[in-house]
Amino acid sequence: MKNLLIAILLTATTMTLSANPFDTLNSTRVSSSQQQNVKNGSKRLFFAQRAAKQGNPQAQFDLAMMYASGNGVAKNEKEAFYWFHKSARNNHVEAKYYMGLSFLQGRGVKKQPHLARYWFKQAVKAGYTKAIYHLSKLDKSINAKHA
């Protein structure tokens, strides 16, 4: 019963997250609506943290998205990266894609194109087609440098 409640709350949390949290990370100022999101997201945050710490890859991903977008919690790219990494290591396909984006864009971690390529490749192998574009673009830029 407890696991069902956590799953329902995580599903509700996932539905309210933005499609690409990195689109909203350009601003360093915290708006009043973001501050309100932090206050309103305390229950979502509590249950996401609880399930994530128990090793649930979807909860880890959801928590990463919350930190990346500032939805229900203050934006924190390093914390987002930490949870994306945990989730990706637990075979969450979309988290592998976001690991690639993190290394490509330097979000919460130093820019490292070779690691971005690795994670995009892992996402493609797992069937996440959005990663194909970034992988091919990265390969072209690497090949252009070596030509």
Q: What is the pTM of this model?
A: 0.72
Q: How many domains in the chain? A: 1
Judged on CB neighbours under 10 Å (0-12, 13-18, 19+), 129 is exposed
Q: What is the CATH number of the domain that holds 82?
A: 1.25.40.10
The residue length of the chain stands at 147
> What is the reported pLDDT for 36?
56
Sequence-separated (6 or more) residues with CB below 8 Å from residue 130: 97, 123
Identity (one letter) of the amino acid at 125? K
The dihedral through the CA atoms of 116, 120, 121, 123 has a sign that is positive
State pLDDT tens for residues 57-106: 999 999 999 999 999 899 999 999 999 999 999 999 999 999 999 999 99
Alpha-carbon span 11 to 73, nearest angstrom = 17
State pLDDT tens for residues 114-147: 999 999 999 999 999 999 999 999 988 877 776 6
Q: Tell me which residue range forms the domain holding 51.
A: 2-146
> What is the reported pLDDT for 34?
53
